[in-house]
A and B are shown apart, each in its own frame.
Chain A
Amino acid sequence: MCLSIPSKVVKINEDKTMCTVDTMGVQRDANLMMMADDEVKVGDYVLLHIGFVMNKIDEEEALASIATYKEILELMDEEERKRAILEDDECPARGEQYAEELETDGRA
């Protein structure tokens, strides 16, 4: 009931009670009556729930989240690289160690 994907407002009706949004390429109508007057504008990203616009999505925060995730990935890739070098130094045991690590990580 609650899972939602962000939608972009592409049109607001004249009486401002309804708008048309684009959600991953699918256009649909959404009710604007839960939002304050003139709070939502064309081009804004909004969160929909059962046909209503619940609130706007903060673009800066959304982009910041994406950036954080990318940073983590880069950091982890670097660590992975370091680990690979260290493991290479302990060459004979490498394969077994990695299998154990995978198991304790729950990834195996």
Chain B
Amino acid sequence: MAGLELNNLYDDFRDGKTLQAYARIIAEDAAKLERPINIMEVCGGHTHSIMKFGIPQMMPENVNFIHGPGCPVCIMPKERIDHAYVLAMQPDVILVTLGDMIKVPGSNGSLQDARAKGADVRFVYSPMECIKIAQENPEKKVIFFAIGFETTTPMTAVLLDQVIKQNITNILFHINHVTVPEVMVELIDSRDIHVDSYNNKIDAFLGPSHVSVIAGSKIYEKFPKDYGRPVVVSGFEPVDVMEGISMIVKQFVEKRCELEIQYKRVVTYEGNLNAQKLIETYFDKVDLFRWRGLGNVPESGLKLKDGYAKYDAEVIYRDVLPIAEIEDHKLCICGDILRGMAKPPECTIFGTACKPTTPIGSCMVSSEGACAAYYKYGNLITS
């Protein structure tokens, strides 16, 4: 065996000729479909790849994409951002978070605005950086505003594990971890009720791969079984996405409805059992988590177990945290976009009042948001 080579992996999974070859296979199979099919890519990583590499252009007319709610920044309701803002404004607090969270507007402004007003808000690449910040600032409370799906939850668990083991007393957690299968159920149910502008429903899912690197493909088992929706867990590279789509189309042509893994090089049925154990040790499901634009989704969020309440910023700061639910800007249709019922250019403020530099809705803030992807790569879309 020649052995794995990084350049092979990187170049081959982006190879233009391979993409075109897959496009032909998909077109040939799609010609045998009895009706058009709508594939939801749940994950923002997929949305980004699909837009960046112009994959919609390569699809036959009867294979459509519906962009899902798989961006942890985009799905954060305003009241949770307000929590972060209020915590950041506490005099003895350093608020730490990941990604684009810092730019999302809450009702008082974004974390960036809080920083402009003197709050100590820090962006980190990895949650573990909180330990160093806490050690350097022993007189302050470091609050980790934890976001993300199954992918990032175990990293928060590792941080808490270390906080306990190293007896660090000045790190607290504000938990906003959410789970993918529960919101997929919500989307199927609500889409079956509401007839949207496309008058269509979600026929199949391109399963988020990094979620399954941790949680295994097993979490999607019920979708083909109980909901009649095939799921193919796919990688993010464009060739992975094309192969995943091809596998879905083949299932429809052959009248199969199964859970399959395209991304076998990293995803297994069981996932990372050690990471799952860490999550089970520290987290419980919440009864309801309110998703931006989607509303309350049962058991779709996590919280720290009661035994770890002394690390829970939501418990410790409950007297100062606002409790009201806050609706989005009236003109912003992020909710419909996250539900897959509208595409970004259908929003009246898309690209005008709402741009990556001046975002109104969260889908424009995060680089993984559908609006940001359309704004950046939209000129690749011909129709």
Residues of B within 8 A of A (CB-CB), count: 68
A residues less than 8 Å from B12 (CB atoms):
66, 69-70
Could you tell me the distance between the alpha carbons of A62 and B310 in the complex, rounded to whole angstroms?
A: 44
Contact residues in B for A49 (Cβ distance below 8 Å): 151-152, 155, 210
Alpha-carbon distance between A39 and B273 when the two chains are bound, in angstroms: 12
State whether the Cβ of A35 lies closer than 8 Å to any Cβ in chain B. yes
Q: Cβ of B127 < 8 Å from any Cβ of A?
A: yes
Residue among B127, B148, B274 with the highest chain A CB neighbour number at 10 A: B274
Contact B272 A54 (CB under 8 A): yes
**Cβ B24 vs Cβ A105 within 8 A:** yes
* Contact A50:B265 (CB < 8 A) given known A66-B12, A73-B21: no
Residue of A nearest to B208 (CB): A2
Contacts A51-B126, A65-B264, A107-B20 given; does A34 touch B4 at CB 8 Å: no
A54 and B98 within 8 A (CB): no
Quick check: A50 and B9 within 8 Å, CB to CB?
Answer: no
Assess A72 versus B22: contact at CB under 8 Å? Given A6-B6, A57-B266: yes
> B128 near A8 (CB under 8 angstroms)?
no
- Residue in B44, B271, B273, B278 whose beta carbon sits within 8 Å of that of A2 in the complex: B44
Are B45 and A1 interface neighbours, CB within 8 A? yes
B18 touches A69 (CB 8 A): yes
- B161: interface (CB < 8 Å): yes
Check B116 for interface membership: any CB of A closer than 8 A: no
Q: Which of A18-39 contact B (CB under 8 A)?
A: 22-24, 31, 33-36, 39
| Cβ contact of A59, chosen from B4, B17, B240, cutoff 8 A | B4
Say if the beta carbon of A47 comes within 8 Å of chain B.
yes
Interchain CB contact under 8 A, A105 and B23: yes
Q: What is the 8 Å Cβ interface bit string for chain A, positions 63-107, against chain B (1 contact, 0 not)?
A: 111101110110110000000000000000000000000000111
- Which of A24, A45, A64: most chain B CB closer than 10 A? A45
A61 at the interface (CB under 8 A from B): yes
User: Nearest Cβ distance between residue A57 and chain B, in whole angstroms?
Assistant: 5
Asked whether any CB of chain A lies closer than 8 Å to the CB of B198, the reply is no
Provide the bound-state CA to CA distance between A64 and B9, in Å: 11
Q: Which residues of B contact A51 (CB under 8 A)?
A: 125-129, 155
Q: Which of A23, A39, A52 has the most CB of B within 10 A?
A: A52
Task: Please report the C-alpha to C-alpha distance between residue A51 and residue B155 in the assembled complex, in whole angstroms.
Answer: 9
User: Which residues on the A side are within 8 Å of B240 (C-beta)?
Assistant: 65
Is B172 engaged at the interface, CB distance under 8 Å to the other chain?
no
- Minimal beta-carbon separation of A48 from chain B (angstroms): 10
Known pairs A3-B48, A33-B162, A50-B152; A66 contacts B210 (CB<8 A): no
Shortest CB–CB separation between residue A68 and chain B, in angstroms?
8
Q: How far is the CB of B346 from chain A (nearest CB, A)?
A: 22
Report if A4 contacts B (CB, 8 A).
yes
Contacting residue for A33 out of B7, B10, B161, B266, CB 8 A = B161
> Is residue B92 contacting chain A, with contact meaning CB distance below 8 A?
no
Q: Which residues of B contact A57 (CB under 8 A)?
A: 4, 265-266
List residues of chain A with CB within 8 A of the CB of B275: 34, 54
CA distance A50 to B27 in the complex (A): 37
Instruction: Determine if A2 and B45 form an interchain contact, defined as CB atoms under 8 angstroms apart.
Output: yes
A3 touches B239 (CB 8 A): no
Question: Which B residues are CB-close (under 8 A) to A3?
Answer: 45, 48-49, 236
Closest to A45 in B: B4
15 inter-chain pairs at a CB distance below 8 angstroms, sorted by A residue, are: A3-B48, A6-B10, A24-B7, A34-B274, A35-B274, A36-B273, A54-B210, A54-B275, A55-B214, A55-B266, A55-B272, A65-B243, A65-B265, A66-B9, A69-B239
What 6 A-B pairs come out closest when comparing CB atoms? A51-B126, A2-B45, A62-B265, A61-B265, A61-B264, A36-B274
